Every structure is written in structure tokens, then in C-alpha cells.
A and B are shown apart, each in its own frame.
Chain A
């Protein structure tokens, strides 16, 4: 009989709990898939932010960086996302053009090798593109030397992959009008072009190619997670093109304060210290504890190349045509 007296109490408690749950504000962050996966920064970032915001942080995964923008354009102004995280500077011009973003309003002291003064998009990490090969093998000293050698590489398609697009911009930034010639000479080094980074990197690890287009930070994964120092990034004289990954606040957000709070949190220690060993990139703000052991062994390019978002957008189609013509011969 005792149980029956508890029943209304339990039911009441459950009701209160669900009411409290319904009142918890939800912040939706649209980002690329590998950010939210259990191996990416997502889980740690979610736990750290929820500990301080009294909110529910939800990630919406959408393929890779390029499909992120397409997804946002599909959803248009009706999107429920409050933050879009994971675009890079090759995509921000198009993203700005959608008119869906509001200024981020964060004044942070960023540790980027280039000056940053974009009012709409705030970086959360960055890296240098580089070819990653095996230690001890022949390493060319420049893009030109690579094109003149008979080293076999695998790259990603710029139409479907952000590193692929990065290489397109790298060659354009380094060679300008000579880009077409360089691609023509590189053509016989490229054994194949894959749709995404994963396929290319997998083929390289399988020994199908001497090197793969990736990041200077890729060897850090093998060193730190696998204690394997056999992978190295090649340093090129022309300099290395950068990928700066950014987040932006959606103008139509129904949680503007939470969104601002998240962007400020994004450049704080709690977020930034997760980045190096989950996203395997450099944090936009170096955390107080510094970079993890192993990062000091990474190759640091002497020259950083980066086109402005406007230049990148303006050059993109012509650069793609050059690339396709040269590689279709």
C-alpha cells in the first residue's frame, strides 16, 4: 500500500524534471562530421561548454567543410543552427554572400602566423597544407622540384574536398600565372585524385603513393597517438598555404547571447586545449599549458601563404579550369 502514496510524488518529480529540461536553452552548432565524431573535439567541447552555460549544446554534423556551406544554403534563413563552425577562408566569401551571418564581436588575441581582422568569422584552429611522406625517402624541397621529380603522390579533388581546394590555392598563391605550367608538370606525379582526404590518406598509408597532400600536423598524430615517427611533412621553398578554420554566428539565431558566449568560449583554454590532439591542427590561441609534447618536432614553414577570402573566391573558377585542363591531358 505504501507504494501508492509515492506514485503522485514520483510523477510530479518526473513532470518537474521534464519541464526543467524543456526550459534548458538549446544551442545548435552546425559543423563538419569529423568534428562531432567521438574522435574529434566535439565530445570534450560539449562537456566543457555545458558545464558553464546551463544550456544544451547540440552538434549537427554535415559531411565535410564544403558540404557544410551547401547544407546551410539548402536550409537558408529557416535554419535552426545558431553557430556554423568549420568553414575555411576559401569558403568564407561565399558564406558571407549568403547574408546569413552576423558579426562575431569577439576581440581575442589570436596566435596565427597572419593578421586576422574578419568581423564575421572567428578562427578556432589552423594548419599548413603539406605533402606527407615517409622518413628517409627522397624529399623534394619545393613544388617545382616535386613536379620535376618522378615521385608519386596522391591528392584530393578540389571540387569535393577542402584540402584539394587548398592545394589549388597553394599553387595559385605561389605561382600566379605560372600555375598552369606547374600543374602540367605535376600531372605525371599524381597517380590519382580521390574524392576526400580519408581515401587519399588511406592509400598513402597502404603504400600506393610516396606522399599524400595533408597537413604539417599529420605526423603529430602518428607520433603522439601511435608512437611512430616514420611520417614527415616536406618543407617547400615556395612557402605553405594555410587553412584557417573559422566559426560564424547565424544572424537569425534565437539564442544570440548563448551564441556570443560560445564564440568567446571557443577561443578560451577549455576549447583550444582540446584541438591539437583531436582535430590535429594548431589551436587559434595557444593554451596556457602550451602545445602537447611532440608538436615541437613538426616542420614549421618559413613562409605562410594565404589568399584573402575575396581573392580566393575570385580566382577559384579559373584555377579549377587550369587544374582540370592540365590534369586531363
Chain B
């Protein structure tokens, strides 16, 4: 491992961040468990929830990755007008609040949606979207774009020199270059998506059509809010962590080492490409699948847009501040962890994904409550928790490049006695710009749409945009809520676009 070989940056920032992440994940869990009166174990229904959770998360992750590979390949080897915009837009579904995305999906795949209208017009029976297939469809809609982005980065990290060499030797690019790259990128991507789906709750219930689609996270909700059985909630949260550890171990077991080595950061030219028809067809289908529901969200939100009350705009401003703060925090945390490197960091980097949002919120509440009024620290806690929850994605984007930089230039840095800030400034950061921008954008947008923690802490004065949207819905104002949702999507997307755009600079992606 190159990072242990090259001690070019101090290790303490990484250790400090790891401690913070552990406090927010396992620490909050311990707080909940400590407060619990342990009365009974798990019910049979809880085990049914574990089974369903595993099945849907596995299928969702598998399908997301399988579909993402051809899309990423097509995007990696074709240039066309609007490609940059499309790649950025691919980030959008992932950033949507659940209910917004569900209503967007239903407008296409639900009753009276475009799909069923089309089927009826062609003389077929309409199909129901609700069930396991609906859960998987929604999860693929959310996560496939993320998989595309991660895998696309893998493709683009193959140095141009390799393609040149392969072309001059007439060697098979697929087997020699692309397959090893996929083996190093795909397992991690699968793991991240598997874990996201593992903690899914509202999507699974709503699209799953009923209580057979109960996930572990919903069982935790029931334990906390319906039975007030914190012991069972803590047990279920432990199971979620256990599943996470097993999945992570399996994923690392099949991860290949990326033997690409260093390049000169040249623009990739390809000589081995088949006819472009298939690639463009793949891109078109993926774009339709992802962009049509987004389009429906715009259509639904436009009519009441001018009538949005001032409080929604105030909430939007508050959300923007929280998002920018948590993005900055998240990127710093990810950078500290990535520079520290090592197995511990890999574990810490996926922990937040396996954490139950409700347990984190409840635990944080229990920790904070004896000392301060929860509403007073609502925005601060939200910022911190959101930064932590986005950390796995940021780390996923940054860490491979940092490792690569260490492997390729570490010895050179050591030989030149280039350390600490100088090393960061001249070697690491310029090469990290692209993943840093992507990570910051993702963290900002994720924080923008988050509803988990704020709902437990916020009073009237700390209302964020997602909370304002839910309050509008709760007051029958569905059209205004749709407009607030549109505003949320536009702002999240703008934040993401600005950061991502900065990251890509003038370098061709």
C-alpha cells in the first residue's frame, strides 16, 4: 500500500474525522441503547423485514450497476453536443427528496402515466407499478445515475497513454484495460448503492404497495414511534450495521487492484471504437428513463411557482446556507480521511450509509437535550449530520484518485522532500479538482434535500426548504408544495452544477 510507504501528510486530521464519524454513528446508537428499557427481542415480523430489505437492496444495486456499465462506457467514448449537461443532469435524480421523486415516477409509470397510456393505446393491459418491481425501479432511478458517475470516473482515470499503447499493439482494450478498471470500481459502487437501499424506508413502503415491503428502517420507525421500544430500535440498528459490515467485507473481497499506473493527464483518444449507433441508443434510453420523471416534476411545479409565500423563500435561503456549510465540512472530512488512507478509513467511510437516520437523529437528540434546547442547535446539528451522511459519497469520489496520486507521485514527493501543505497544494489538489468538485456538489445537494434530522430538531424559525414543502403538503397545499419541490430541485441542481462545473474546469471530462 502506497500510503503507508509515503508519509507525506500528517495523520491526525484523518483520525479526528474518523472519531467524529464513529461518534455520530455508533455513539448515537449507544445513546439510544443506553436510554432503552430492554423488554424483549425481535418479533418474527422484524426478521421478515430483514429478508425483504436484503432482497430489494441486492436487486436494486445489481440492476443499477449492470445498467450503469453500458451507459458509462457509451459516455466515456463518445463526445456529442450537450454531453456535459447530460452528465451533470445525471446527478439530479439522486438528489431528489423521496416524495418528489415518487410523484415524478408515478406520473410516468403510475396509473394514467405515460407508460400505461402508451400500453393502452397499443392495445395492452395497463400494468401496476406497485410491488417489489416498483421498489427496484425507484431505487434504480435514484441510484443508477450515481453508479454511472462512479464508473465513468473509472473509465476516465485510465491514462490516455494506455489506450495509445493498446491501439499501437492492436491489443484488446476490453480485457486489458476496461475489465481490470471495472473490477476495481464496480464492487465499491455496488456496495454504496446496496447500503443506500438497505436503509431505504419511504420509497420501499410507497412503491412496495404495502406492509410486505417493510424494511429494517421502517421497523426501526415502528419501534421508536409506535411502540416506543428503544431497545428494539437499537437492536435493529445493530442488525443494519452488521449487514453493512458483511456486505463491505464481500465487496472488498472481490475488488481488484487497479494496475493502471500514472499517465501524463492527456486527453483520451480512442482508436478501437465500434459503430456509434449502439452507444447513442444506450445514452438515449438512459436519458429518457431519468429525465422524463424530472420533466414531470417541472411540469407539476410550474403553475403555482409565482404564488409561493415569502416563508418558502426564507426557508430556501436557510437551506442554501446549511447545504454550503455541510458541503465544505464534508469535503474537508473526506480529504482528511482519504489522505490518511488504510482499512480503518474504508470502514469509517461506509458506516454513515448503514446508519439509520432516525437512530442518528434520536441519539443526537438524547445527547444534546440535557444541555441545550434542541431547536437552538437545529441547523448546526443538521449541517454536521448531513456532512457525515454525505461523506461516503465524497470519499468514494476522492479516495481512488488520492490513492493513485500517492502511488504514482508519492516516491517523487518523498525524494524531493515535498510534504504537508506544499505537497497538497502542488500535487494533490490540482489532480483532485474534478472529484473534489463532484463531491462538494453531491454533498451540498444531498444536504439541501435532507429531511431526516431537521424534522426532529427544528422549531418554527429553523424551517428548511424540504420541511416547508412537507408542511405545505400537510396543509392540503399540494400545488404550492409541488412548486416548493421544483425550487428545491432547481437549487440542489444549481449547487451541484456549480461545484461540478468548477471541478471539471476547462479539462474535457
Contacts and interface: CB of A to CB of B under 8 A. Distances in A.
B78 interface: no
Interface in B341-379: 362, 365-366, 369-370, 373, 375
B471 A34 contact: yes
Contact of A160 (B48, B130, B222, B370): B222
B476 A280 contact: yes
Contacts of A246: none
Interface of B is mostly: helix
Contacts of A55: none
A203 B477 CA distance: 13
Interface string A34-69: 101111101000000000000000011111001101
A280 B211 CA distance: 29
A152 B128 CA distance: 11
A199 B206 contact: yes
A206 B471 contact: no
Given A34-B474, A38-B311, A202-B473, A69 B228 contact: yes
A327 B210 contact: yes
A193 B103 contact: no
B455 interface: yes
A192 B103 contact: no
B210 A328 contact: yes
Contact of B211 (A78, A94, A193): A193
A39 B475 contact: yes
A39 B222 contact: no
Contact of B45 (A36, A199, A221, A324): A324
Nearest to A75: B369
Interface string A174-218: 000000000000010011111101110111011111000000001
A22 interface: no
Contact of A199 (B99, B209, B224, B362): B99
A159 interface: yes
A9 interface: no
B420 interface: no
A157 B211 contact: yes
B221 interface: yes
A42 B455 CA distance: 17
B218 A33 contact: no
Interface residues of A, number: 57
A38 B228 CA distance: 30
Interface residues of B, number: 55
Nearest to B471: A37
Interface in B24-44: 35
B478 interface: yes
B207 A39 contact: no
Nearest to B35: A74
B474 A195 contact: no
Contact of B103 (A160, A203, A225): A203
Given A37-B475, A152-B111, A192-B208, 11 more contacts: A33-B474, A39-B472, A62-B456, A70-B225, A74-B35, A159-B225, A191-B128, A195-B201, A201-B473, A208-B106, A328-B48
Interface of A: 33-34, 36-40, 42, 59-63, 66-67, 69-71, 73-75, 78, 80, 94, 152, 157-160, 187, 190-195, 197-199, 201-203, 205-209, 218, 221-222, 225, 280, 321, 323-324, 327-328
17 contacts: A37-B475, A39-B472, A39-B477, A66-B226, A75-B369, A157-B205, A157-B218, A192-B130, A195-B205, A195-B218, A198-B474, A201-B473, A209-B111, A221-B476, A324-B214, A327-B211, A328-B48
Interface of B: 35, 45, 48, 99, 102-103, 106-107, 110-112, 128, 130, 201-202, 205-212, 214, 218, 221-222, 224-226, 228, 309, 311, 362, 365-366, 369-370, 373, 375, 455-456, 458-460, 470-478, 481
